[in-house]
Structure 1
Amino acid sequence: MATGQMDLFGGVKLAEPEPTTTVKLGRKAVQIPLRKKRREAVNRLMEILEKLEGKDICIGSYDAGGRHFWLDNLKLQRLQLEWHPIRLKSDQNYIPGVIVLWGSKSAAVRIFTDYLVAVREQEYQGYWHYLLDFHNGFWQSPIDNFRSHYACLHITRFKD
């Protein structure tokens, strides 16, 4: 600077704040950074699915919106993965909108990642269960009125 004043932000890259989603329940409101949680959960899910590719799995779900067990113990043999939009290996911030799990005999399950908030692992008697949690606001105040407020998709990997 020609004026001789110090520049406080010269050479410092300012970061944009993480956008938050506001969820209201009555007079109370909460702002949740869903994009950060979603990014962490999707990255963890992608790691797990890449390990499971080519193996046999069973997949099931629980939906708290009245459609209980709409998918229960569907066996996907020789799991194959498909990412939408197409994944570039060099992109570190890649978050797929849809993950398609293909099995033999044209069996397929689509996972929409827009409300994915957590991926949990449980081991029970040698079987691995991967639980995917989807949240859509509160029961009375959903973010999307066409989806239930909570759903869980579970992927089971059996012993080798």
Structure 2
Amino acid sequence: MSENNHTNGHHAPPPELPISSYPPFPNQLPEGQWFTGLFACLEDPSNCFATAVCPCITMGRIANIVDRGTISCLAASVIYVALVYAGCAPIFGCTYRTKLRGLFSLPERPLPDGMDYCMCCFCALCQDYRELKNRGVDPSIGWKANVEKWNEEGITMPPVVAPAMTR
């Protein structure tokens, strides 16, 4: 007699998803539009101040959330600082802005991602951080703590489905 995933007539509980496989964010704001503008930094004064003082922390928090915990805030912050000294920090920020836009189908505006980060890095960091907050994430606590919080609040999210291949 085969078990066929039965134990005494009961189905085994579904395996828990790894933290990194959860889909993004419980607040489903309209896709295709930014919640705030690039120059609305003062809508979140505490983040604006923190970003002005230590942009590497804001960048680390954004990277941790956008990459669903596969990179730590500390690691992303250290990479950002190293790239600042190499003169390449906008490339790192641009990469995560592009990923963030992809998550929510956001337009590349007011400028292309690279230009946003080259012309006004602090404004772009603040906007990315605000976008995550407005979509139900607290970047300051990290990806894992956000997922735990959503689970405690009973927020259910649909499974991640990879897009189908197109011709």
Q: TM-score range by the shorter chain?
A: under 0.3
- Relative to its length, the structure with more strand (as a share) is 1
Rg larger in structure: 1
TM norm structure 2: 0.26
- Relative to its length, the structure with more helix (as a share) is 2
TM norm structure 1: 0.26
Which structure carries more relative contact order (alpha carbon 8 Å, separation 6+)? 2
